[in-house]
Amino acid sequence: MNGPFDLSGRTALVTGAVGGLGREMTLGLANAGAAVVVHHLDQPEQAKDLADELAEQNAFAGVVEGDVSDWDAAARFVEEAGPIDILVNNAGYMVEGRLLDMSLDDWRKTISVDLDGVFVVSRHAVEGMLHRGGGVVINLASQLAFKGAAGYSSYCAAKAGVLGLTRAMSRELGPTIRVNAIAPGPIATPMTAAAFTPELARERTAGLVAGRMGEAHEIAPAVVYLASEASSFMHGQTLHLNGGGVMQ
């Protein structure tokens, strides 16, 4: 790939890289020329398969493991990843639970992965970016941060927090580091397959202009765009890839 979308010579760390969205983002970055570090938690076989696929493209930069919400574990795997030019905070957790049925532990589990994890990994990664004079952070939010969803209050709250954190990070770290977010709509992934019943999937897509669930590969080009010089004047913004579910 040539031109403003070319990521040759850059190294990206994708958290939760072996999941549905993470895998497609990883491959998309690799196709644009980036070398990619695969992050996972307790999924060594899937990580190896993805690493082998990247190696065939000469785009493999390593495999790291650890809990994104654990300060010491994140510090360790960010250090193992080496100099990072692009950080994609993709690792996520979703569980159904109505507010009146939710325990504090259930609430904290979602917040710890989906919001704390973005802060923790970014906190360790951006120091090196600042020292080297540049970098890109891409945070995964959700359309549910804007519209809400009954039964997913912890997830909606966490993703809304990601949007606020993205804007604050952009103002603190820019222009040296560009920080932006992506807010996908309902995407067919292993995580949503586990969380969505057929009835819930129909409910979530009923109000979409696209009239269907999105596919993971439809998100990857937006990650390449935000990682590349094509978006060099974009700071603190959120791209809405939701089939028309939320229009801003």
DSSP 104-129: HHHHHHHHIIIIIHHHHHHHHHHHHH
Helix (H, G, I), strand (E, B) or coil at 63: strand
Backbone φ, ψ for residue 14 (5° rounding) = -110, 115
Candidates 93, 152, 155, 225; catalytic one: 155
Write the CB contacts of 235 (distance below 8 Å, at least 6 apart in sequence). 170, 174, 175, 178, 179, 180
Q: CA 51 to CA 47: how far, in whole Å?
A: 6
Amino acid at 120: V
C-alpha span between 217 and 189 (Å, rounded): 10
Burial bucket for residue 80 (CB in 10 Å: 0-12, 13-18, 19+)? middle
Closest-CA residue to 192 (of 21, 15, 65): 21
In whole angstroms, give the CA distance from residue 122 to residue 134.
14
Prior bond to 175 cis, omega within 30? Answer: yes
Contact indicator for 20, 214 with CB cutoff of 8 Å: no
**Catalytic-residue membership of 155:** yes
> Would you name the residues annotated as active-site residues?
155
